[in-house]
Structure 1
Amino acid sequence: MNHPHIVSAAIQLVPVEAGNKHPYVWIDEVIEIIKQEGLSCEVGPFSTSIDADYKSIMRVVDKINVYLLAKNCPEWLLNVQIQVRSGGDMSSDEKLAGHRG
């Protein structure tokens, strides 16, 4: 998709089978991958919110899956939600403005 605006996304890793690591270790490693991309993100208790262009979101999703495969994570779900506005940017701040103190 060639979308020129910022989209808002949430990424959640759910290790189905964690192997020899605690599930939180896999999750922490995925959060580090997101942070290393330099994208605007906020870590929450159930997912990490990211505001970036669509291609950057999909690139980080691919990097996460490649990493987990290379590190032999036995099985995982990667839940991705993306909110797109066709005529402009979409941000987490905009969506949460009425709920932050």
Structure 2
Amino acid sequence: MHDFIINASIQIVPVVQDRHPYEWVDEAIAVIQQSGIKYEVGAFNTVLEGRYEDVMKVIDDVNEFLYFKGCSEWISNVQIQIRSNGDITANEKTDKFRQ
């Protein structure tokens, strides 16, 4: 894949009863925070931004973390936007709505 900037969103939906789902989500967000990749946490998902390989690594790291920490079941909703001839950023799409 190219080295342009892409953006993606990831939403983790724990399907568990062992603890409050927000606890699993908070730990998944901590994995993203520790990655060094640009991110923005929202109410329903977290937007990631960076090179394709870096973004995909973080998505993989989140799922691997949940697996190795013993989360018994979860849904990972992922959306990825890629532009084949240049960068695509979240700000490009949302700045016009910020006050």
Instruction: Quote the residue 2:55 is aligned against.
Output: 57
* Inter-partner Cα distance in structure 2 for 1:96 and 1:66: 30
* Inter-partner Cα distance in structure 1 for 2:28 and 2:89: 21
- Any gaps of 5 or more consecutive residues in structure 2? none
Instruction: Quote the residue 1:100 is aligned against.
Output: 98
* Inter-partner Cα distance in structure 2 for 1:54 and 1:89: 11
Secondary structure in 2 matching 1:14? strand
After TM superposition, give the deviation of residue 82 of structure 1 in Å.
0.5
* Inter-partner Cα distance in structure 1 for 2:9 and 2:69: 23
TM (norm. structure 1) is 0.94
Instruction: Quote the residue 2:15 is aligned against.
Output: 16
TM (norm. structure 2) is 0.95
Deviations 1:27-81 (A, max 9, x none): 0000010010011110000000111111011111111111111111010011110
> Match for 2:14: what amino acid?
P
- Residue of structure 1 aligned with 2:85, choices 75, 80, 87: 87
* Inter-partner Cα distance in structure 1 for 2:73 and 2:86: 37
CA RMSD in angstroms, aligned pairs only: 0.9
After TM superposition, give the deviation of residue 20 of structure 1 in Å.
2.0
Q: Percent identity?
A: 45
After TM superposition, the structure 1 stretch with the greater mean CA deviation from structure 2, 58-67 or 4-13, is 58-67
After TM superposition, give the deviation of residue 4 of structure 1 in Å.
1.1
After TM superposition, give the deviation of residue 87 of structure 1 in Å.
0.7
* Inter-partner Cα distance in structure 2 for 1:80 and 1:51: 13
